[in-house]
């Protein structure tokens, strides 16, 4: 049972579990939402490098957001959340009750002695009265696939289309995926999705000046983007799609496109342990400045997904950003389910045998 425990819950090295003999240090992101300016450079860079189709340029009527959520054609999504002073005060008060949000455990002020590194040198974080509260503020955060330590999407894939790389990340192989959608239902973050083929304006010849039909004025296909097939259809329709953490770039020791393009270094990339240390240092710095609402998300290896490869510094509760407060890998209970199913099968076999013996010996 220790093998299953390592595979489905608790701290572990996912690349080693995947039998990589030359496993590399695990890579990951640290997204510091406190310095995100909502420029969407990460979204654009991701689409350009990976050939991800346009998913529409019209605003959704929800602030300045035009993508809405992560999906098959949105591998990076920048959220815009407008808050009043009342909500800011609530966020700071809830932050005072937390030392760190490392899913799913919550620590209260009574537990602060267990994590002194998260506190300023003077003791408990300053309260809301120690820091002026603005009338309004925008929370901006670039969301992405979490590349979970225990990835349910990978566990349930029947074709092996999803695989664990030597960097500990999770990647979909387009040519192996059969579009069954099991991974879509399994992901606790709602990240992965099958491409529908109706993204943006792919039905027309032009999309805001970008040829998406695959043919120029002379009928050639030399200017067709990577995601467009030569027949004018979007590539990989019906196939599960998500962030690969730029696996092709990692193999060449390059930085993922989104982190490379971020002008404020809100998106940082590197060895995951280094990213977690950077995140802890940053949240301690913000606490010292009186921003008690600052908290970390995805750093706890004992949480429901074993910690994530994408770590976030948030300025409010996870739900505000559309993140689940207590995600749990959907395959964690498989050993228990199999054991109970086995007991049930043995019980049915026993009853059938008893019935048969009873008929032979009235």
Find the domain containing 353 and state its range: 332-362
Are 314 and 271 contained in the same domain? yes
Q: What is the spatial distance between Cα 31 and Cα 261, in angstroms, rounded to a whole number?
A: 13
Residue 229 maps to a domain? no
> Using the 8-state DSSP alphabet, how is residue 46 labeled?
H
Residue 59: other Cβ atoms inside 10 A: 10
Confidence of residue 110 (pLDDT cuts 50, 70, 90): very low
pLDDT of res. 357: 74
DSSP 8-state class, residue 69:
S
CA–CA separation, 104 vs 297, rounded Å? 9
How large is the C-alpha radius of gyration of the chain?
A: 24
Is 221 a member of any domain?
no
Please tell me which residue, 56 or 177, carries the higher pLDDT value: 177
318-343: per-residue pLDDT in tens? 999 999 988 888 776 666 666 777 77
Q: Of 140, 234, 156, give the one whose Cα is nearest residue 192.
A: 156
Number of domains present in the structure of the chain: 2
pLDDT at 244: 95
- Gap between the Cα atoms of 240 and 189, Å rounded: 15
Phi, psi of 126 (to 5 degrees): -60, 150
Task: Report how far apart, in Å, the C-alpha atoms of 252 and of each of 123, 247, 249 are.
Answer: 45, 9, 5
Tokens read off for 144:
């992405």
Would you say the pTM of this structure is higher than 0.85?
no
Residues 174, 63 within the same domain: yes
pLDDT at 43: 94
CATH for 29: 3.30.70.20
- The span from the CA of 342 to the CA of 102, in Å, is 35
128 domain-assigned? yes
> Which pLDDT score is estimated for 223?
41
What does the pLDDT look like over 237-288, one tens digit per residue? 889 999 999 999 999 999 999 999 999 999 999 999 999 999 999 999 999 9
CB proximity list for 152: less than 8 A, separation 6 or greater:
183, 186, 187, 188, 329, 330, 331
Within a domain: residue 284? yes
According to DSSP, residue 126 is labeled: P
Residues 348 and 321 in one domain: no
Q: What is the pLDDT of residues 18-49, one digit of tens each?
A: 888 888 999 999 999 999 999 999 999 999 99
In this prediction, residue 281 carries a pLDDT of: 95
Note whether 268 and 340 are same-domain residues: no
Instruction: Specify whether the CB–CB gap between 169 and 247 falls below 8 A.
Output: yes
Instruction: Note whether 69 and 79 are same-domain residues.
Output: yes
**Rounded distance, CA 31 to CA 308, Å?**
12
């Amino acid at each position: 049972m220790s093998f299953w425990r390592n595979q489905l819950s608790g701290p572990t090295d996912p690349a080693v579990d995947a039998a990589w003999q030359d496993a590399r240090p695990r890579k990951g992101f640290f997204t510091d939402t406190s310095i995100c300016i909502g420029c969407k450079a990460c979204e654009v860079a991701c689409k350009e490098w990976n050939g991800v189709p346009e998913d529409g340029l019209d605003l959704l009527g929800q602030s300045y957001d035009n993508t809405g959520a992560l999906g098959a054609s949105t591998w990076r999504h920048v959220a815009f959340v407008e808050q009043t002073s009342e909500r800011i005060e609530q966020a700071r008060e809830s932050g005072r009750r937390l030392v760190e949000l490392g899913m799913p455990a919550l620590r209260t002020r009574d537990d602060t002695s267990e994590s002194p590194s998260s506190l300023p040198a003077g003791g408990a974080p300053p309260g809301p009265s120690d820091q002026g509260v603005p009338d309004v503020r925008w929370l901006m955060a670039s969301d992405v696939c979490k590349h979970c330590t225990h990835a349910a999407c990978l566990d349930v894939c029947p074709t092996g289309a999803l695989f664990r790389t030597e960097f500990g990340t999770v990647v979909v192989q387009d040519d192996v995926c059969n579009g069954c959608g099991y991974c879509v239902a399994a992901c606790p973050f709602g990240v992965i999705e099958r491409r529908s083929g109706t993204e943006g304006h792919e039905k027309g010849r032009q999309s805001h000046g970008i040829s998406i039909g695959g043919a120029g004025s002379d009928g050639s296909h030399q200017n067709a983007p990577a995601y467009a097939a030569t027949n004018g259809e979007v590539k990989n329709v019906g196939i599960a799609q998500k962030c690969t953490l730029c696996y092709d770039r990692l193999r060449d020791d390059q930085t993922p496109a989104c982190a490379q393009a971020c002008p404020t270094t809100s998106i940082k990339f590197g060895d995951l342990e280094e990213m977690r240390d950077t995140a802890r240092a940053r949240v301690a710095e913000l606490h010292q400045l009186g921003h008690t609402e600052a908290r970390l998300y995805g750093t706890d290896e004992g949480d429901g997904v074993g910690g994530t490869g994408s770590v976030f510094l948030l300025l409010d509760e996870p739900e505000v950003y559309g993140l689940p407060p207590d995600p749990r890998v959907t395959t964690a209970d498989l050993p228990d389910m199999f054991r109970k199913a086995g007991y049930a099968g043995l019980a049915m076999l026993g009853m059938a045998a008893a019935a048969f013996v009873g008929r032979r010996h009235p």
